[in-house]
Amino acid sequence: MKPKEEFPAEWKAIAVVYEQKKRIVVRFEYRAEWNALIRTIQGARWSPTLHAWHIPDTEENRNCCRLAPDEKLYLPEDSAGFSAEAMMNMREFVRWMRSKRYSENTVKTYAESLRTFLKYFKQKPLEELCNLDVVNYNNDFIKANNYSASYQNQAVNAMKLFFQIVKQTKIDVEAIHRPRREKVLPNVLSKQEVKEILEALRNIKHKTMLSLIYSCGLRCGELLSLKPEHIDSNRKILWIKQAKGKKDRISPLSEKTIEMLRVYYKAYRPKTFLFEGQQAGTQYDVRSLQQVMKMATEKAGIKKPATLHWLRHSYATHLLEAGTDLRYIQEILGHSSPKTTQIYTHVSTRSLQQIISPFDNL
């Protein structure tokens, strides 16, 4: 084969780690001339485990295979035991999700869920998988390992989407069932507890970050993605760009929050993101922010296992208790369905406090 000559278009290739070495798995229908062709490539080997040929992962071979140089496919670290067909389909699935503009977090989550599922059935050909295998997986892997219903639902989302794309299986996508929804109420802090947590922080940056999560009802990722230009102090609004579901929304900014942001900005002068890490222009680390919340909770003497998301729940509940219409709360939080917002009615104490217990009249 001439240097940098492309392989036949019918050949499918994917970069993997196999036997602790970077290799490119090449799969094609058997033809004597194609078998002879791949044997001419230096370092080409046949793998009975992968049921495919694999060649050294070099720049020249990548060019021949038409592979992107740094494409993140979230494939298994060691491909031993995975069929070449399964890996090829995973690659196409990841590329399909990206072409549909799924967020990278969703791409990663679905790919990892799917990888776990396929690994569980790695001894079974992909085309032989059926709905009974899905039921067995739910019982013998997910339930047996005490994974949550939300984890199972995530796995179901990944499987449904994958098997809509991969047609050559016995799986009926519509028959894949979901776990029964758990009715879990959101965790909420009182206004006094929120105040104590924020006052426990002396670092202006840390205090501003947690204050903004609470005062605007932000998700953690939304806070870390903010940029200085997303603050409109004249109109007293905060722009939240491309949040969950690829949606933009706005949240009201109080005068108190605006003043705090001004003090913070003068002290830190962020370049790209509103809250940056130790290196200028880089996003603040989510784990560091989680540690800030844990430290503040401990210093405030609060025994509840409060997380950053509790601040968002608390904001919504406190708005509801103050008489804010649910429709406005839905818009501020970025909920697609009012049913999601209505859950806060179950933790609001505004109406409950008006109920007189018959015990008091005994």
**Which residues are known to be catalytic?**
219, 244, 309, 312, 335, 344
DSSP class per residue in 177-192: PPPPPP--PPP---HH
Tokens found for residue 197: 């947590």
**CB burial of residue 269 (10 Å; 0-12, 13-18, 19+):** exposed
Q: How far apart are CA 162 and CA 126, in angstroms?
A: 12
Long-range contacts, stretch 62-71, CB < 8 angstroms, 24+ apart: 62/15, 62/24, 63/4, 63/6, 64/1, 64/4, 64/5, 64/6, 64/7, 65/6, 65/7, 65/11, 65/13, 65/24, 65/26, 66/6, 66/7, 66/13, 67/13, 67/14, 67/15, 67/24, 71/15
How would you class 101 by CB atoms within 10 Å of its CB: exposed for 0-12, middle for 13-18, buried for 19 or more?
exposed
Name, in order, each residue with C-beta under 8 angstroms of 308's C-beta and a sequence gap of 6 or more: 210, 213, 220, 289, 290, 293
What is the signed CA dihedral for 66, 70, 73, 77, rounded to 10 degrees?
110
Which residues fall within 8 angstroms of residue 105, CB to CB, at 6 or more apart? 221
Report the DSSP beta bridge partners of residue 250.
239
DSSP 8-state class, residue 222: H
DSSP strands (E only) in 161-279: 231-232, 237-243, 247-252
Could you give the CA distance from residue 270 to residue 18 in angstroms, rounded to a whole number?
A: 43
Which positions ≥6 away from 87 have C-beta within 8 Å?
14, 16, 25, 75, 79
